[in-house]
Structure 1
Amino acid sequence: MRAVAVVGNPKPASRTADAAQRLAVALGADEVELIDLIDLGAGLIGWGDERVKAAVAQVQASDLAIFASPTFKATYTGLLKLFLDQFATATGLEGVVAVPLMLGAGPAHALAPDLLLKPVLVELGAITPAPGLYQLDSAYIDDPKAAEYAARWSPVIAAITAL
């Protein structure tokens, strides 16, 4: 399964990027391509930037897309929102299995991936067969929730991506 990790952290090479790549591997990805949105810079603000178009096409060609963001002001970052705006509503992520992943400082925002990010992915046409995953950014490496999540949902994601 070919996966892409789309990371909306304004810090390059972030813990969010690492967590997204780890999750993709745990879910069965053979290869994980990283789209660190901060690298696309001002191209995300307008329309027609070639690097942004290539990133959109990369996501659309993947079997699995992990959409990852740190929790900023109780939601995902504006950087991720700018990228998601590049996709056509209802069809932009058609056929792509998507998993929302958010990292935060405390458990107060644990529902953010499902309440805030997942509905946007569904609106763009993504297949979202699993709940989102929220992890503490200070403990994501050793967090058993990621392994439990992968054990529960990787068979579902593998079955859907094989269709």
Structure 2
Amino acid sequence: MKITAIVGNPKSRSKTYAIAGEVLKRISEGLTSEGETADEAIVDLADFAPSLLEWGNAEVIRQLERVTSSDVVIFASPTYKATYTGLLKLFIDQLPQQALANIAAIPVMVGGSPHHSLAVEAYLRPLLVETGAVCPTRGLYVLDSQIDVLPAVIGDWYETSALALRNVVHGKGA
């Protein structure tokens, strides 16, 4: 099982990064059997920001290959102007068409206001589907005010999403 989280926050090691890490941990725990460990990675796009403007950059290509060889990819972004960041878009634009075919993608967005909670479904999910990804669960929108209760927020989301995610990842859906 290979699980990757892509963090599209321009600030390195941001709240978005921490949230993506918690989502990755919960998904890994839920999808692996006892005694099994997943190959987990968090890619902080802030670390590669200038390289994303160099089409064909070797380090960016390595990260794209990591994504396209994963079973599950979490795409996490703060909400900027009611949508995902340009940094995340720069990364996703470098994926070949249908590069995420048969990969379970989890859209995650972080915001300060519930007024933008539909952004995860209205903007991020369609972008992922356009690349061929299967989005078996509803997107996760985390409010800044929920950071102190993050495990519970992610646990509630996972509880309602687990069956669909397991079915896609283990070949019973899609």
1:110 match: 117
1:77 alignment counterpart:
85
Deviation at 1:59, TM superposition (A): 0.5
Residue matched to 1:148: 156
Gaps of at least 5 residues in structure 1 are none
* Matching residue within 15, 22, 46 for 2:54: 46
Q: Please tell me the residue identity of whatever aligns with 1:48.
A: G
Q: Find the partner of 2:138 among 121, 131, 153.
A: 131
1:96 aligns with 2:103: yes
Q: Is the 8 A contact 2:77 2:109 kept in 1?
A: yes
Q: Which residue of 2 aligns with 1:33?
A: 41
Residue-by-residue CA offset, 1:1-24 (whole Å, 9 max, x unaligned): 321110000111111011111112
Count of residue pairs brought into register by the alignment: 162
Shift of 1:41: 2.3
TM-score by length of 1: 0.93
Of Structure 1 and Structure 2, the greater helix share is in 2
Q: Give me the whole-angstrom Cα distance separating, in 2, the residues matched to 1:127 and 1:71.
A: 22
> Quick check: 1:5–1:33 contact (8 Å CA) kept in 2?
yes
The secondary structure found in structure 2 opposite 1:127 is coil
Which deviates further from its counterpart, 22-31 or 33-42? 22-31
- The CA deviation at 1:96 is 1.1
Please identify runs of 4+ aligned residues in structure 1 that moved more than 6 A: none
What do residues 4-55 of structure 1 show as CA deviations (whole Å, max 9, x unaligned)?
A: 1100001111110111111122223534301100111211113110000000
Residue-by-residue CA offset, 1:42-83 (whole Å, 9 max, x unaligned): 111131100000000001111110000000111100000000
Comparing 26-35 and 116-125, the one that deviates more: 26-35
Q: Is contact 1:98-1:127 (8 Å) kept?
A: yes
Q: Does structure 2 conserve the Cα–Cα contact (< 8 Å) formed by 1:118 and 1:128?
A: yes
User: TM-score, normalised to structure 2's length?
Assistant: 0.88
Match in the other structure for 1:24: 24
Match of 2:8 in 1: 8
- Cα RMSD (Å) of the superposition? 1.4
